[in-house]
Amino acid sequence: MNVKSTPLNGVLIIEPDKFVDHRGFLLQVWHQQTYGNKGITGTFVQDNHSRSYKNVIRGLHYQLRHPQGKFIFVVSGKIFDVAVDIRLGSPTFGQWFGAILSDENHLQMFIPPGFAHGFCVLSETADLIYKCTDFYYPEDQFGVNWADPGIGINWPVEGPILSGKDSKLPFLKDIPRKNLPRFEEI
């Protein structure tokens, strides 16, 4: 397994070991001890399966009182997965990192609590699984507008398909500071 750091402290890209033979392949998606030894810690309490269609953007979402660390991998298709540092006081506040995750490259992304998360679909459909370190509470969901010019994400889609809710999310500069997570050294 190869773990690569990113410009955002704590956001990691994981390339799991893959064992291939004439029957197909096997890869270990998650092993608490192995991943923990590589710095990916936390107890995952909820797994989500998301299916989306080409040009869909979901996000950028975060939870404030119940922040979720997320461990993301694609089972089918291809996405551009994005983490945005929205932690007040962080040296990388307002910066983003994105990576292509697919059923071909088998890359995984770990996003610690305190970051906004979103993705867009590059294939006809995409199925992804994401493990969360806290439960989802609908009343605790917040978000940042996907097209925030202050963040400047280079989304690789034109004419994205959005939910009504996601299309109305505020820019980061307009979110009351009380509704943003605080930076804590990881």
The catalytic residue positions are 61, 130
C-alpha distance from residue 15 to each of 10, 38, 109 (Å): 16, 12, 9
Closest to 117 measured CA to CA, from 89, 141, 149: 141
Residue the block writes with tokens 């932690």: 87
Q: Helix (H, G, I), strand (E, B), or coil: what is residue 150?
A: coil
**Using CA atoms, how far apart are residues 144 and 162, in angstroms rounded to an integer?**
13
**Using CA atoms, how far apart are residues 26 and 28, in angstroms rounded to an integer?**
7
- In angstroms, how far is CA 15 from the centroid of its own chain? 15
C-alpha distance from residue 30 to each of 38, 142, 160 (Å): 12, 28, 31
Residue 100: other Cβ atoms inside 10 A: 14
